[in-house]
Structure 1
């Protein structure tokens, strides 16, 4: 789920935000945007166009170094974005395929590796987005963020957790409700 990717990013940056609270806002915004950004390729070739599970590290690492050398809201936010977008893309191989009904396991394509020019196979540790285990993981990953961030972020995290649970309850029915032209 997109929310699980956002919660993962927030969990990754939460320790840094705890230690350096003046950058908490930049870290959170970068993590949220980085958790969402790869899935904007839904309108193109999903999990290929904007997903970089291997090459993303080549962007994330220099961004983290830049933030460590020249800490500022911008460098820290960009680093959070880059790391979270990379983790999002890399973690998609742990789930099912990108099709609308991944529980049928019709494809052995999880996410495209631009470096090796091939698709990585799905590991199916999380059977599909919105699976019960995805909801449990997402809620567990939201906890560190709830402990560190406050204000509007707390409300956003709780709201996203509710959306995650509702989505998980409805996920398998969504395929039947989806118009044919979206498939």
Structure 2
């Protein structure tokens, strides 16, 4: 399900509620942190078609469309948003190292891109780097403390961190 919503400052961002369970039968009840990936609504035909492909579960097609979009003359800000979206796509695909790298590129362009910080945190979480994931979410919350997705991610990741400490 693709849900576009307005965020602070009137910008649009897409929150894609997809997880591996989203591709499973409807009775699947396992909800993962992947439900908390964030997506920029980048203007243009290629990014729009890429988001449609993601919402249909066609991740390879979406990746090809995003890569093709980088050949277009997007402004620097939009290029950063494309990197953040590719990062989220790679998280969905299980390519966590590549996802981290792409979100880092987005953050080189805009260090306050809380979408990229969130998506990198999800990639870090899946790669077992819980402390780094918490740091990214906390940094994102310093930029946008009212976002429910960020708050939920911090709770989920912190709970994993707390359970890890208790088990050791």
Class of the TM-score when normalised by the shorter of the 2 chains? 0.3 to 0.5
Between the two structures, name the one with larger relative contact order (CA 8 Å, sep ≥ 6): 1
Larger radius of gyration, structure 1 or 2? Answer: 1
What is the TM-score of this pair, normalised by structure 1?
0.35
